[in-house]
């Protein structure tokens, strides 16, 4: 039995699942008979996931949850929280030993409490062998102390979303591939009253994504390959100066934006270029009143900076189970079932490019080719660095991104709260408290 706490989603899932639901259930029953993980008797799994941005993805997810529950007898309770609320709730659960059995979180969440999570190396090994292996950053993000602390279910690719007519009016045929040209485009957009805007607030996905791109594209990192704090550097200073020049072209209010702010502004016609997943485009395509925006939209990779090669931070979605769960076998079975091709391929397609596969065998999913505007998102999991950049992926790196050290450094300088040296010094001091 599945417990839904969102009435509208239940209706949407029922409508979306009317075709093929029986086939999925038949497969789930056969899968459960052969699976190496046999759920505990009367098992219940409380799953906390990030709030969906693409309704079709959520509907498809609930279909496979329902099939798993009926096939295995595991009672599934699914709840969701905003991006920014996942990590605090997961930390409370880890520290108290009570709460959700499974958390489907963001970035390097499992690195915050690696000793509190279930070792899922057997699940990761099974999936990796069956589906062509994991992309490197996904694997690095979810392995701690030589074991798999979580399963990297997917990556949310965040790239440049733009209005085609606006950049053409600004005198550009496409988004420039270099940071200098990109700044000139943003200046021209502002001059035409069709401004850009990027989150400078505590937006876990958007702000971390584009600001780490700015930092890394200039050859700067919070910590070096040995885990030594290196943020106070000439390269960081150049990244800060570039970011402030970009900030001068932004729509007002970005210093307080969260992960949904730019979506709303773009769909309202107030914003003409930003960084985001494909959710803006998906929402515009799904709403007849917004189809004109969808038709006028496209996506582009992040420009190349002085470092001379792509430097991306994409949003990994790791799924972990706590050691305190009373149903560890059920938790492992659910993770393995979720990423089996029979479920994962339709789910990936329903996400419409919002999610990118972390297993190499899924590169051929039709979602990447049936709409050319989706294609740029295909390589997000392949191209991203871990959230730690070039530094080791560990508890320190997870704490640094959870504390928004890089985001706050850029925000402090761009908004005038700190001068150049002050912004770097504050970030360095905060980082050194973590990287002791």
The secondary structure of 251-268 as a DSSP string is PTTGGG--TTHHHHHHHT
On whether both 182 and 138 belong to a single domain, the answer is: no
- Cα separation, 423 vs 413, in Å, equals 6
On whether both 15 and 134 belong to a single domain, the answer is: yes
On whether both 222 and 119 belong to a single domain, the answer is: no
Q: What are the tens digits of pLDDT across the range 348-373?
A: 999 999 999 999 999 999 999 999 99
pLDDT attached to residue 53:
86
Local structure of residue 111 (DSSP, 8 states): G
Query: Mean pLDDT across the stretch 255-266?
Result: 96
**Rounded to the nearest 5°, which phi and psi values hold at 20?**
90, 0
On whether both 22 and 104 belong to a single domain, the answer is: yes
345 in a structural domain: yes
135 in a structural domain: yes
pLDDT attached to residue 22:
73
395 in a structural domain: no
**Rounded to the nearest 5°, which phi and psi values hold at 237?**
-60, -40
325 in a structural domain: yes
The secondary structure of 306-356 as a DSSP string is TTSS--B--EEEEEEEBTT-S-HHHHHHHHHHHTSHHHHHHHHHHTTTSSB
Residue 16: pLDDT above 90? no
Residue 3: pLDDT above 60? no
Task: Note down the domain range covering 23.
Answer: 2-157+314-383
On whether both 219 and 352 belong to a single domain, the answer is: no
- Domain total of the chain: 2
- Cα separation, 265 vs 143, in Å, equals 37
On whether both 152 and 81 belong to a single domain, the answer is: yes
On whether both 301 and 152 belong to a single domain, the answer is: no
Question: If pLDDT is split at 50, 70 and 90, which confidence band does 8 have?
Answer: very low
On whether both 55 and 164 belong to a single domain, the answer is: no
Q: For position 186, which CATH number holds?
A: 3.40.190.10
Decide: helix, strand or coil at residue 78: strand
391 in a structural domain: no
pTM of this prediction exceeds 0.85: yes
394 in a structural domain: no
398 in a structural domain: no
On whether both 180 and 326 belong to a single domain, the answer is: no
Question: If pLDDT is split at 50, 70 and 90, which confidence band does 15 have?
Answer: very low
Residue 205: pLDDT above 70? yes
On whether both 232 and 328 belong to a single domain, the answer is: no
On whether both 81 and 174 belong to a single domain, the answer is: no
On whether both 55 and 110 belong to a single domain, the answer is: yes
- Cα separation, 366 vs 349, in Å, equals 7
392 in a structural domain: no
């Amino acid at each position: 039995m599945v417990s839904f706490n969102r009435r509208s989603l239940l209706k949407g899932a029922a409508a979306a699942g009317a075709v093929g639901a029986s086939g999925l259930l038949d497969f789930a029953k056969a899968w459960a008979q052969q699976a190496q993980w046999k759920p505990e008797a009367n098992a219940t799994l409380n799953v906390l996931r990030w709030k969906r941005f693409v309704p079709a993805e959520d509907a498809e997810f609930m279909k496979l949850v329902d099939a798993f529950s009926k096939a295995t007898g595991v009672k599934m309770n699914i709840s969701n929280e905003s991006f920014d609320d996942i990590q605090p709730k997961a930390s409370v659960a880890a520290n108290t030993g009570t709460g959700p059995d499974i958390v489907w979180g963001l970035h390097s969440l499992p690195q915050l409490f690696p000793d509190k999570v279930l070792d899922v190396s057997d699940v990761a090994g099974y999936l990796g062998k069956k589906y062509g292996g994991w992309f490197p950053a996904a694997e690095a993000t979810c392995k701690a102390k030589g074991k798999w602390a979580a399963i990297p279910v997917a990556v949310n690719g965040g790239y440049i979303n733009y209005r085609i007519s606006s950049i053409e009016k600004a005198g550009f045929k496409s988004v420039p591939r270099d940071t200098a040209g990109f700044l000139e485009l943003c200046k021209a957009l502002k001059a035409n009253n069709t401004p850009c805007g990027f989150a400078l607030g505590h937006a876990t996905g958007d702000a971390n994504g584009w600001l780490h791109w700015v930092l890394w594209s200039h050859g700067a990192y919070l910590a070096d390959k040995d885990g030594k704090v290196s943020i106070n550097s000439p390269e960081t200073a150049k990244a800060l100066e570039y970011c402030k020049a970009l900030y001068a072209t932004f729509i007002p209010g970005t210093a307080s934006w969260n992960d949904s702010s730019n979506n709303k502004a773009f769909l309202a016609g107030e914003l003409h270029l930003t960084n985001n997943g494909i959710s803006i485009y998906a929402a515009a395509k799904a709403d007849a009143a917004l189809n004109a925006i969808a038709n006028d939209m496209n996506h582009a990779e992040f420009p190349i900076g002085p470092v001379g090669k792509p430097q991306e931070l994409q949003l990994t979605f790791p799924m972990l189970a706590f050691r305190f769960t009373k149903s560890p076998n059920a938790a492992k079975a659910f993770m393995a079932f979720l990423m089996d091709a029979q479920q994962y391929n339709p789910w990936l397609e329903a996400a419409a490019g919002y999610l990118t596969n972390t297993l190499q065998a899924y590169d051929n999913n039709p979602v990447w080719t049936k709409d050319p505007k989706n294609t740029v998102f295909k390589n997000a999991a392949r191209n991203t660095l871990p959230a730690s950049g070039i530094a080791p992926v560990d508890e320190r790196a997870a704490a640094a991104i959870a504390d928004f050290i890089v985001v706050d450094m850029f925000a402090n300088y761009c908004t005038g709260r700190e001068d150049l040296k002050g912004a770097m010094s504050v970030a360095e001091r905060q980082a050194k408290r973590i990287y002791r």
